[in-house]
Structure 1
Amino acid sequence: MPALDLERHPGHLARRFRQAHTLLWNTVVSEEVTSPQFAVLNTLVGEGGLDQRTVGDRVGLDRSTVAEVVRRLAGRGLVDKVRDPGDGRRSVLRATDEGVRVHTRLAARTARMNHILLAPLEEAERAVFLDLLRRVSDAAEGLRHPTAPPAAAVGA
């Protein structure tokens, strides 16, 4: 059997894209705050008072990963976890003042990183590329949730 053309395999290309994103994130945005940590912080800056599960769903992180991300952000004083005043059994998250400051600083750097990452594409191509990435990612995340439609029905 001849070797496969990996340039036609989405998983291979996704891994290469992820490597490029990680390299740019670490050099342009932050070596201290990871991309998933920023996503959680960004969500909480936009809408505090969410529970951990909701935050995880919003940013596409599973329960154990979002728990670790929140633990690290809280340990750095960027996120607070407090009892929900409406339901004492539940905790909600909010960005601290320091978390908001860090978010503000990193948001500008993230915009610069995205500009660099998407520079090979023309403006119209960027919109199409982001739409396609979002659609494929949404369909893939649907595979994790048993209530989601089967993968074959996603594109139907």
Structure 2
Amino acid sequence: MPALDLSTHPGHLARRLQQAHTLLWTTIVSEDVTSPQFAVLNTLVGEDGLDQRTVGERVGLDRSTIAEVVRRLVARELVDKVRDAKDARRSVLRLTEQGTRLHHKLSGRTARMNKIFLAPLDPQEQATFLELLHRVSDAAEALRNPTARPSDRPAP
């Protein structure tokens, strides 16, 4: 059997795309804060006081991954995890001042990284590419979490 043409395999291309993203992220944005950690900080900037499960759903992280990301952010004093005043059974997440400052610093770098990442595409291709990524990601999320709806995803 001859070798397969992996250039037609979406998983192979997705892995290569992720490698490119990781290289750009660590080179331009941060060696210390991961993209998922930034996503959590970004979610909390927009809406402080969310519970861990909700934040995980919004950024597309499973329960064990969001728990580890939050643990690391709390350990670095970027996020506080506190008991909900309305329901003592649950904890909510809040950005610390340090977390807010870091988010602000990394936001500009993230924008610069995205510009470089999408530079091979013209503006219309960029919009199409992002729409296609959303569609494939939403379909994959539906396989993992059948109760999620595309409308649950925040607008880009």
Same fold (TM over 0.5): yes
- Structure 2 unmatched ranges of 5 or more: 150-156
CA distance in 1, matches of 2:42, 2:148: 26
CA distance in 2, matches of 1:147, 1:25: 31
Q: Secondary structure in 1 aligned to 2:17?
A: helix
TM-score by length of 2: 0.93
User: For residues 90-141 of structure 1, what are the alpha-carbon distances to aligned partners after superposition, in whole Å with 9 as ceiling and x for unaligned?
Assistant: 0000111110000000000000000000000000000000010011011101
Superposition RMSD on alpha carbons, in Å? 1.1
Residue 2 (structure 1) shift: 1.6
CA distance in 2, matches of 1:81, 1:125: 41
CA distance in 2, matches of 1:29, 1:139: 29
The aligned counterpart of 1:59 is 59
User: For residues 12-36 of structure 1, what are the alpha-carbon distances to aligned partners after superposition, in whole Å with 9 as ceiling and x for unaligned?
Assistant: 0000000000000000000000000
CA distance in 2, matches of 1:121, 1:67: 36
The aligned counterpart of 1:154 is none
User: For residues 59-78 of structure 1, what are the alpha-carbon distances to aligned partners after superposition, in whole Å with 9 as ceiling and x for unaligned?
Assistant: 00000000000000011110
Q: 1:100-115 maps to which residues of 2 (within 5 A)?
A: 100-115=100-115
CA distance in 1, matches of 2:146, 2:42: 27
The aligned counterpart of 2:6 is 6
* Equivalent AA in structure 2 for residue 73 of structure 1: L
* Equivalent AA in structure 2 for residue 7 of structure 1: S
The answer to whether residue 148 in structure 2 is matched with residue 145 in structure 1 is no
TM-score by length of 1: 0.93
- Structure 1 unmatched ranges of 5 or more: 150-156
The aligned counterpart of 2:152 is none
Cα 1:48/1:148, change in 2 over 3 Å? closer
CA distance in 2, matches of 1:99, 1:135: 31
CA distance in 2, matches of 1:15, 1:118: 16
- Over 6 Å off, 4+ runs: none
